[in-house]
Structure formats: structure tokens, C-alpha cells
Amino acid sequence: MPVKIPPKKGLSLGVVGFITAFGIAAFITEQELLLVWIIGIALGFVLYRSGICFASAFRDIFLFRDFSMARVVIILIAISFVGIVIIQAFDTSGGFLEWVYPVGFHTAVGGVLFGFGMVLAGGCASGTLQRIGEGFILFWAVILGITAGSVLGVYHFSWWKNNFFSIDAVFLPDFIGWIPSIVLTLALLGGLNLLAMGIEKRNNSKNGLTEKDLAEKEVKSNG
Amino acid sequence: MADNRLDMLGEVCPVPLLTTQKVISEMKSGDVLTVETDYSRTVRNIIKWCDDRGYVFDVEDKDNGVWLVTIEKK
């Protein structure tokens, strides 16, 4: 039986007031910040409504043999990739290139550290912010951990740079051109998505579900 | 028929779903389990898992941000 729970109106108004005040303050300080403020609100809304979770995407593949969030992340990367290509292709000041670092041993170490932290804490950076917004006090502790870890990472960065950066950063379009790079990346992401879909289908047929059941499930979960 | 309750308040992914799976695997067919959680993703995780197995489930709002998920083992 559904129970009607009165929403906390005062709290909601307080949060909206705080965000608005923050926007006005940002606009007064620097007009460009208003754009960042709008993008921030939009991103927060999309994160909250979609429930995108990088931790779940990587963890559930192994833990529950569930590829649904992994596929969401693949699609998310494909869409952001197109956006980033547009920015990179038209930005004369170099775009994202200054944040591209060479691949190496340090990448694997960073991946393992971040992966363990993410799965143990129950959320990556975006997921943690999203959960704080949803009201989980616990994730304030996680964001403290993320901040401390990031500060340590920045502090220690030059050590890794001096010891492990042996090759130059690879910017694919410089080697094979823009169009082949775009096609290659999208083909790779599409291939991964197809692979995930294939494994999902095989798992479902193990559970005795037919194509028709799956179609019905799809309709139900969307409706 | 037995009624089981699982208190998962304060637990985050993947603990609630793993515990639910463990408890359900020890239940008999027709037994009912009620999971109490304050984690929105847990609700989604559990009902997807139930859906994949054809278990009947029901979600009830207990309080602001607290849900009761009732699952019947098939």
C-alpha cells in the first residue's frame, strides 16, 4: 500500500535558495562563471536522474555478471567523445592536450589504486557527489578521502613524472589523422558494447528467458 | 511460508544486493524476504536482479528516503 510522505519543503527551498545565491555570487565575481554554474546544475541533474555509476559499471561485471551499467558508461564515453572531438578540433589554444599524459606503469598503478578505492568506498568522484546530493551523510567521508587522495597525487606527481614517463603522450590524430582516429575509437566502443550485449544475451538464455521475455522486460523497465 | 527481514540501513553497494542474494539462496520456495534500505540504487539493483530471475517483488516507501523491498522466492 503506497504511503504518502510529506516532502520537506523548507529544506528544498533552502537548497534552491543556496544554489541561486551561489549563481548570483558567481555572476558578480566573473560573468563566465555563470556558464560553469549552468553546466554544473545540468550535469548534476543528469547524474541524479540517470544514476550513472562508474563503480557499479566496473564492479558489477565481475561481482554480479551484470553488464547494464557498463554499457551505459560505454555509451556515455561515446557521446562525450564526440563532444570532445568537436572542442579539440576547433579550439586553437590546444584544447585538452595539456591534460594528456603518457601511458605507462604509473597508469596501471593509478588504475588499481583508484579502482580499489572506488569499489571499497561505493562510489567514484561523480557518484559520490551525486549521493551527497541525494542526502547520504556517509559520502561526506568518501569525498574527504577523494580530496586527500587527489592532494597526495598532485604532491607526488613529479616523482612519477621523473621516474616513469618514458614515452611522449600519444595524440592519435597526429599519427593517423582525424577521421581514422574517430572511426577507430567509435568502432572500439561499439565493439565493446556489442560484446557486453552478447554476454548479457547468453546469460539471459541460461536463465531460460527467450527473446520475447527480454522484449517484454525492456518495455516494462522503460514504462 | 516464512517471513524474513533484512536490515540494510546505512549499507551501500554492493553489500545490500550480495546479502540479499545470500539470504534468498538459503530460503525455501514461497518464502518472503523484506529488505529495508536507505540507498536508492539498492532498490534498483534488487528489483533488476529479481526481474532477471522472475521473482515477484514490491517496493514500498517507508519514510523519506527509506524503502521496503519485498521479494517472494519462486
B18-62 tens-digit pLDDT: 899 888 888 888 888 999 998 888 888 898 888 888 888 999 888
Give the whole-number percent of chain A exceeding pLDDT 90.
30
What is the domain partition of chain A in residue ranges? 1-50, 51-221
Identify from A5, A116, A199 which residue to disrupt to test chain B contact, counting B C-beta atoms within 10 A and taking the largest count: A5
Q: Quick one: A222 exposed, middle or buried, by C-beta within 10 A (0-12, 13-18, 19+)? A: exposed
What is the CB-side half-sphere exposure of residue A103 using CA atoms within 13 A? 3
Q: Which residue in the set A2, A53, A135 is minimally distant from B61, CB to CB?
A: A2
| pLDDT tens profile A160-200 | 888 888 888 888 888 888 899 999 999 999 999 999 999 88
Q: Average pLDDT of A54-83?
A: 89
pLDDT, one tens digit per residue, over A75-97 is: 999 999 999 899 888 887 877 77
pLDDT, greater one: B3 or B55: B55
Query: Considering the domain B3-72 in this protein, what is its CATH number?
Result: 3.30.110.40
pLDDT, residue A4, reads 62
pLDDT at B11: 83
At residue A1, the pLDDT reads 47
Using pLDDT thresholds of 50, 70 and 90, give the confidence band for residue A5.
low
For an interface test with B, give the residue of A11, A61, A66 to mutate (most B CBs within 10 A): A66
Residue indicated by cell numbers 562510489 = A123
What residue in A sits closest to B15 (Cα-Cα)? A122
Give the pLDDT confidence of A170-179 residue by residue, as tens digits: 888 888 888 9
Domain chopping of chain B, boundaries? 3-72
Residue A65 to residue A204: CA distance in whole angstroms: 11
The answer to whether A25 and A19 are in contact (CB under 8 A) is no
Q: Which three cell numbers stand for residue B23?
A: 539470504
Per DSSP, what are the bridge partners of residue B70?
Answer: B34, B58
- A/B interface, count of CB pairs below 8 Å: 50
Tell me the shortest Cα–Cα distance from B55 to chain A, in angstroms: 12
Of the ranges A3-12, A24-33, A212-221, B1-10, the best mean pLDDT one = A24-33
Helix axes A138-164, A105-121, angle to 10 degrees: 170
**Euclidean distance between CA atoms A76 and A53, whole angstroms:** 11
Q: Which amino acid is at A106?
A: H
